Amino acid sequence: MARKKTEPKAPAKKQSNAYIEGAGLVQDERITLSLEKNYMPYAMSVLVSRAFPEIDGFKPSHRKLLYTMYKMGLLNGKLTKSANIVGSTMRLNPHGDAAIYETMVRLAQGNEALLHPYVMSKGNFGKAYSRDMAYAASRYTEAKLMPICAELFGDIDKDTVDFVPNYDNTTTEPTLLPVRFPSILVNSNVGIGVSMASSVCSFNLTEICESTIGLMKNKDFDLLETLKGPDFPGGASLLYDEEELDRIYRTGKGSVKLRAKYQFDKASRTLEITEIPATTTVEAIIEKIVALVKAGKIKEISYLRDETDINGLKIGIDVKKGVDPDKLMQKLYKLTPLQDAYSCNFYILVGGYPRIMGVYDILGEWIKFRMNCVRRRTANELDQKKQKLHLLKGLGKILLDIDKAIRIIRETDEEAEVVPNLMIGFGIDEIQAEYVAEIKLRHLNREYILKRTAETDKLEKDIAELEEILGSDRRIKNIIIAELKEIIKKYGQPRRTQFFYKTDIEEVSIEEEVPDYQCKFILSDSGYFKKCTPQSLRMASDQKFKEGDFQSQEIDASNRHDLLFFTNSATVYKTKASAFSDTKASALGDYIPAVLSFDEGESVFSMVATTDYSGYLLFCFENGKVAKVPLSAYETKTNRKKLANAYSAKSRLVAMFHVADNANIMLRTTNGRAMIFSTALLLPKAARDTIGVQAMTCKAKSVVDRAFIVSDEKAEELKKYKSKTIPVAGSFAKDIEDPDQITF
């Protein structure tokens, strides 16, 4: 529940120190109602006024900046300091110079963030592909509008779009720009709103215009015929997946896979990466590769450097001798952002409301928008021509008797009577008479008047043509198609993003790169781990431990085994043997709680090594219960390093064992009882934290304090303790006090 303060009621009559009823009282209100009244307007304001682009392809901040530059005459004028542009834009966008300049940087040619930049730039505007390459301050850089902006503002003075007052009512600004091409899909746009996010990728201008023409001619047109896929300013390669592309075109949701382009210099054995996915940066790629090299996961690289300069992006990777560069790149694609996915989420504002639309729907809405712009432009031109024709018809009547017009003006005593007298003398209306009265004396000749009235026939033809256009959607579409074709000729450019196909993807198993050799895993009681090779053990077999520490486990395995370290807090930490360097017997080894970042108070309880997660884990608890869990329950597909609830915490864990199949288990209690049973009596449980089943019944407040695996031979020797059923209380065992007699 939320609380709101009630408004005080007005007093019945004015009194000094009067008591106001209801003042200071708090009234209960449902939290959902408070959110609806207060938070929802804020959320919609963020979406509509900041985060999402509209059908013209611009957010309000973009539109205000570009319109300001247009009004400054920067479409055809000279470059001017960016600071001047930023200052002028604040008349429309009062959010501060830093925010305005950042907007301008992204639209600039020098930043390389857009396929078709709108701002021609001079100076350092940073780079979209670099996180650390900062742009210069606005006082050092210069800018103007790119030629393509003529297609954004070409009809703006012909009533094609609505204008609204700016924030302080000192001027007006357009609600949309009358763009002549679908700029919403030509340049990428990313925005994060409240509970919604928009991510519109860029497409090739020529392909988008051809696709728009195709849809205008045939509503069932297949976009895949002309729109091959997204086209990014940074190039790179795109996985051509026709099914996924069609899904994006129809729903506006999906993702495309991008990978970097490279070439190999055989002379210097250097991989040169020249184009990277639009979702990452040079620094992110280099940091990831360095981390992999340090972790020992990539050993084929001898040196790495950033060679990006004035000529463009380049990452140099020196490859060791004998390494196949193509296989190395496949490995890097798998492990680094050199291959990444661009998530498409086409949220667009239409009529002030956010809608998620596919390319089909976006182009459909843009066609409606553009048709309305052309219709309004045509109506504006028609109105102007009708007005001009009306004036020329009045002028034509003057042609009949110029001397009469001069005489009327000369003989009129008062200036205010000139227009009424002309209206009476020639039978024209006030607008026509005002036009005639304003003609200069030098123009009151037959030649001038004949030239002006000669336009009448052409105007009448133009008016008939415009009226026909206004009444025909087909004619309007033909005009838009002609404009799109002209734009293709003027601004079309080849695709920058080329394609690769599923057949080009070579699956690389990272495991295959890990050297395979035999080794021995040794774990001490306090948590020190050693990976020793047979050669090092032959040289010195005596293991060194800290004072008071001793060996608790020893496993014969290989360098490709996975290691699972179970802790005293029912957690398991997973790692790989290859992550540890080979250790000599004389060394203390790696302290596992520190290496694997154990939580405070955690210590190693037991270690398990496996390659295929086969077999079972047996958990023996002090309450006499034993759990049998398949080791496969600890296998994960996402390479998780830490798993909680690794075993049950309901009772203290006494011992755990990894067995391939069934085994004989002996349980010992604190009151001297013992029993042996086969794990075939236990059913495996899928849940890791199962408490298992009762194997031994504890009497006289005793608990199980030890558990051992016994061989079949030893179990036969101690058959008087062996039980064919569970649970049992066991027998007093005086002849097997030494556990070393039965363990192996």
Q: How many CA atoms lie within 13 A of 439 on its CB side?
A: 26
Identify whether the C-beta of residue 209 lies closer than 8 Å to the C-beta of residue 226: no
Give the long-range contacts of residues 117-122, CB within 8 A, separation 24 or more.
Answer: 117/146, 118/66, 118/145, 118/146, 118/148, 118/149, 118/152, 118/187, 119/69, 119/143, 119/144, 119/145, 119/146, 120/79, 120/144, 120/145, 120/146, 122/79
C-alpha dist (Å) from residue 66 to 77, 118, 143, 155, 497: 14, 8, 11, 15, 27
Tokens of 660: 């391939």
Q: In sequence order, what E strands does 166-240 have?
A: 172-174, 189-192, 197-200, 237-239
3-state secondary structure of 616: strand
Give the H/E segment covering residue 328.
helix 325-335
Identity at 743, one-letter amino acid code: T
Q: In sequence order, what E strands does 156-203 have?
A: 163-165, 172-174, 189-192, 197-200
CA-only gyration radius of the chain, Å: 41
Question: For residue 475, what are the contacts with CB-CB under 8 A and spacing of at least 6?
Answer: 468, 469
Closest by CA to 675, choosing from 728, 717, 623, 622, is 728
| Phi, psi dihedral angles at 399 (to 5 degrees) | -55, -30
Q: How many CA atoms lie within 13 A of 155 on its CB side?
A: 24
Active site residue 647: no
Identity at 313, one-letter amino acid code: L
Spatial distance between the Cα atoms of 89 and 429, rounded to a whole number of angstroms = 44
The per-type count for the chain, helices as H runs and strands as E runs, is 21, 35
**Residue 591: strand pairing partners:** 528
Handedness of CA 575, 581, 585, 586 (dihedral sign): negative
Per annotation, catalytic residue among 39, 70, 129, 140: 140
C-alpha dist (Å) from residue 590 to 299, 526, 527, 531, 585: 22, 11, 8, 9, 12
Q: Are strands 142-145 and 119-122 parallel, antiparallel or unpaired?
A: antiparallel
CB atoms within 10 A of CB 135: 22
DSSP string, 548-587: T--EEEEEEEETT-EEEEEETTS-EEEEEGGGS----TTS
Identify whether the C-beta of residue 529 lies closer than 8 Å to the C-beta of residue 553: no
Question: For residue 673, what are the contacts with CB-CB under 8 A and spacing of at least 6?
Answer: 696, 699, 702, 729, 730, 731, 732, 733
Identity at 724, one-letter amino acid code: K
Spacing of C-alpha 477 from chain mean position: 36
CA end-to-end distance (rounded Å), the chain: 65
Q: Annotated active-site positions, please?
A: 140
